[in-house]
Amino acid sequence: MTYRSNLERVLSDGKFAVTVEIGPPKGCDPNKIKEKAKIVNGWADAFNITDNQTAVVRMSSFASCCILKKMKMEPVMQITCRDRNRIALQSDILGAAAIGVKNILCLTGDHQSFGNHPGAKGVYDIDSVQLIHILRNMRDNGIFQSGDKILAGNPDVFIGAAANPYADPYELRVDRLEKKIAAGADFIQTQSVFNVEKFSLYMDEVCSRGLDDRVHILAGITPLKSVKMTERMRFFVPGVDVPEHIAKKMENAKDPKEEGYNIALELISEIKQIKGVHGIHITALFWEDIIPSLVKDSGLLPRL
Amino acid sequence: MIITKKKEFKDIVDVVGKGPVFIAGCSECATICHTGGEEEILEMKNALIDKKIEVTGSILLEPACHLLNDKRLFRQHKKELERANKILVLACGNGVQTVSEISKDWDVISGTDTLFLGEIKRANDFEKRCQMCGECFVDTFEGLCPVSRCPKSMLNGPCGGSKNGKCEVDSELDCIWILIYNSLKEKDELHRLNELRDCKDWSKSLKMRRTL
Ligand code: SF4
Ligand code: SF4
């Protein structure tokens, strides 16, 4: 069996996968992203490169993936529908596949009003479900969205999507996931999990529909760095559910950093037990240097 | 209806300069929006005169987007127009352009900001309903338009950010996808949300002209 990417190989082998997010710098200094990448190199199976996350202008996801490739690290290129229409999106997919990007994660994107250019015109020509579907058709059927044929090479990539187990209305959460799978998603990275109980229920439903056999789900983990960050995640980030008991723990901690780290360790060990979860996706916002020990202490890597 | 809002008066004064200016309002949408009816024309006239700006006259166009009516009505105000070097139009962007078309010798100034095609909920309360995409398919979405009413125009919504029925982008705004969901749920047809909605054909919105 040949695999498209290292991430696909790890997941298909039934191993518990680890992905780590790297945010490109707010500037063109390639050393900035290289430094971040060096810290986490070897501590994940693939590395997500965000695409102007929260609508703040940063080095492009595509260029950052090129830099990572040169460092012999495997990127997951994130691509959003906010800034590009179907022409640019498909063109970037071809370009990324050409330079050897093997994983692409399709997102609708955070609305421009949240970022540092609120006056920008959002594109939103298509949405994430449609992007997943387009990518699958490009890969498997060699056709563009318009139906026109690809003439010189289909992008052979492992297709990713995001899922939020906490969003309203709860009743639709697994349906939304199923829709993304039907559209063509091979793997899913979820919103940061803090409320394990609710996530468990979600996964029960996922497994009872047999979706865990059709897609690889990586649960999101975000180590909390401070009380302020906990508050922000709790009240201002759409679709995040930080339960009271975790917020309390952070508030009462002598050393919030250490507490946040321990909470993350606990979450990982609980999530590992949940049926249908095939890996962990770590997003350590402005705290990348914590990742190697988090991955090691939680027993994720190196694999025994 | 075309929904407009008043521009800041000081911004209008900046553009009008010393005048003299002629004011044109609109009998339809701008009247209902209270941005360009009889009252607003009078109000604008007095405010400009207070600023020592000469106002040579005014007119209520019927409506401002009607080329032939504009021509006819302007002829009746020839003298007042001749004394002005600017025309301030209190109507939607279409009205401003129609007036521009027949007023090559004047500087034509937009006096309102045109927002959207929307519904009158009650007096002075308007809500966006449509962005004239060229191919209406609201019947597939329970008569609710996600193209114009979801800030991300998602056809396979909702996104992951909707909370308590409100939109993640603006907590005052109903998440249109929750409204669609509620309506389907009531009919016990939630399964319809699982149908993958194809990309929209925006070439349909390219039509620049239609004749009857
Ligand atoms: S589908 Fe198009 S035409 Fe119909 S209401 Fe929405 S924007 Fe207007
Ligand atoms: S919350 Fe609802 S209306 Fe707002 S962007 Fe998401 S799907 Fe669209």
Q: Contact A31/A25 with Cβ under 8 angstroms?
A: no
* ipTM of the complex model: 0.93
Q: Is B193 on the interface with A (CB under 8 A)?
A: yes
Q: Provide the pLDDT for residue A286.
A: 83
Domains of chain A plus CATH, in order, are 6-297 (3.20.20.220)
Q: Phi, psi at residue A97, to the nearest 5°?
A: -65, -35
B58 neighbors B27 (Cβ within 8 angstroms):
no
β-strands B86-89, A75-80 pairing: unpaired
What's the pLDDT at A236?
86
d(Cα A170, Cα B162) in Å, to the nearest integer? 11
User: What is the DSSP secondary structure assignment for residue A283, as one 8-state letter?
Assistant: -
Residue A190: pLDDT over 90:
yes
Q: Is A226 on the interface with B (CB under 8 A)?
A: no
Chain B residue with minimum CA distance to A173: B160
Query: Is A108:B159 a contact under the CB 8 Å cutoff?
Result: yes
Are residues A123 and A81 in contact, defined by beta-carbon separation less than 8 angstroms?
A: yes
Q: Is the pLDDT of residue B212 over 90?
A: no
What's the gap in Å between B132 CA and the centre of ligand 2? 19
Is the per-residue pLDDT at A97 higher than 90?
yes
Calculate mean pLDDT across residues A237-261.
Answer: 94
What mean pLDDT is reported for chain B?
96
As beta bridge partners, residue B130 has: B117
Give the model confidence (pLDDT) of B162-203 as tens digits.
Answer: 989 999 999 999 999 999 999 999 999 999 999 999 999 999
Burial of B207 by CB count in 10 Å (0-12 exposed, 13-18 middle, 19+ buried)? exposed
Q: Please, are residues A79 and A89 in contact by the beta-carbon 8 Å criterion? A: yes
Q: Mean pLDDT, chain A, as a whole number?
A: 97
**Cis peptide upstream of residue A238 (ω within 30 degrees of 0):** no
The pLDDT assigned to B142 comes to 96
- Supply the pLDDT for residue B105: 94
* A62 C-beta neighbours (distance < 10 Å), count: 19
Mean pLDDT, rounded, for B106-112: 98
pLDDT at A129: 98
| Residue B155 pLDDT level (bands cut at 50, 70, 90) | very high
Provide, rounded to the nearest whole percent, the portion of chain B with pLDDT above 70. 100
Among the partner residues B170, B194, B196, nearest to A133 by beta-carbon distance: B196
Residues with CB under 6 A from ligand 1: B 130-133, 136-138, 145, 147-148
Domain boundaries of chain B, sorted by first residue: 2-115, 131-205
The pLDDT value given to residue A18: 98
Cis peptide bond prior to A243, omega within 30° of 0: no
Residue A123, CA atoms < 13 Å, CB-side half-sphere:
17
Architecture of the domain spanning B2-115: 3-Layer(aba) Sandwich (3.40)
Reported as a pLDDT band with limits 50, 70 and 90, residue B21 is very high
Q: CB–CB of A264/A280 below 8 Å?
A: no
3-state secondary structure of B126: strand
pTM of the predicted protein model: 0.96
CA atoms A143, A148, A153, A159: torsion sign = negative
* Residue A192 confidence (pLDDT) above 80: yes
pLDDT per position as a tens digit, B22-39: 999 999 999 999 999 999
DSSP bridge partners of B116:
B3
What integer is the mean pLDDT of B7-36?
Answer: 97
C-alpha A121 – ligand 1 centre gap (Å): 19
Q: Nearest 10 degrees: CA dihedral of A185, A191, A195, A196? A: 40
Question: What is the CA(B158)–ligand 2 centre distance, in A?
Answer: 6
Average pLDDT in the B129-136 region? 96
Task: Quote the CA–CA distance of A282 and A192 in Å, as a whole number.
Answer: 8
Nearest CA to ligand 2 atom 8: B150
Q: Give the Å distances, CA to CA, from A245 to A5, A156, A194, A234, A248.
A: 39, 44, 10, 12, 5
User: Does residue B208 surpass a pLDDT of 90?
Assistant: no
Which pLDDT band holds residue A237 (cuts at 50, 70, 90)? confident
Residue-by-residue DSSP string for B95-124:
HHHHHHHT-TTSEEEE-EEEEEEEEEEETT
pLDDT of residue A304: 77
Q: Is the dihedral of CA B5, B6, B10, B11 positive or negative?
A: positive
3-state secondary structure of A190: strand
Which of these ranges, A36-50, A82-96, B33-47, B159-173, has the smallest mean pLDDT? B159-173
pLDDT in tens, A267-296: 999 999 999 999 999 999 889 999 999 999
DSSP 8-state symbol, B156: S
- pLDDT mean over A107-125: 97
pLDDT at B19 over 90: no
Give Cα separations from B156 to A217, A229, A251, B160, B181 (angstroms). Answer: 21, 31, 39, 11, 12
Task: Estimate the crossing angle of helix B38-50 against helix B9-16, to 10 degrees.
Answer: 70
Whether residue A128 and residue B193 make contact (CB cut-off 8 A), yes or no, is no
Other beta carbons less than 10 A from residue B84's beta carbon: 21
How far CA B184 is from CA of A39, A165, B129, in Å, comes to: 49, 21, 19
In this structure, chain A runs to a length of: 304
Residues of B in Cβ contact (< 8 Å) with A171: 190
Which residue in A75, A278, A108 sits closest to A180, CA to CA? A108
Q: Which of A116, A112, A157 is nearest to A134 (CA)?
A: A157
Q: How many residues does chain B have?
A: 212
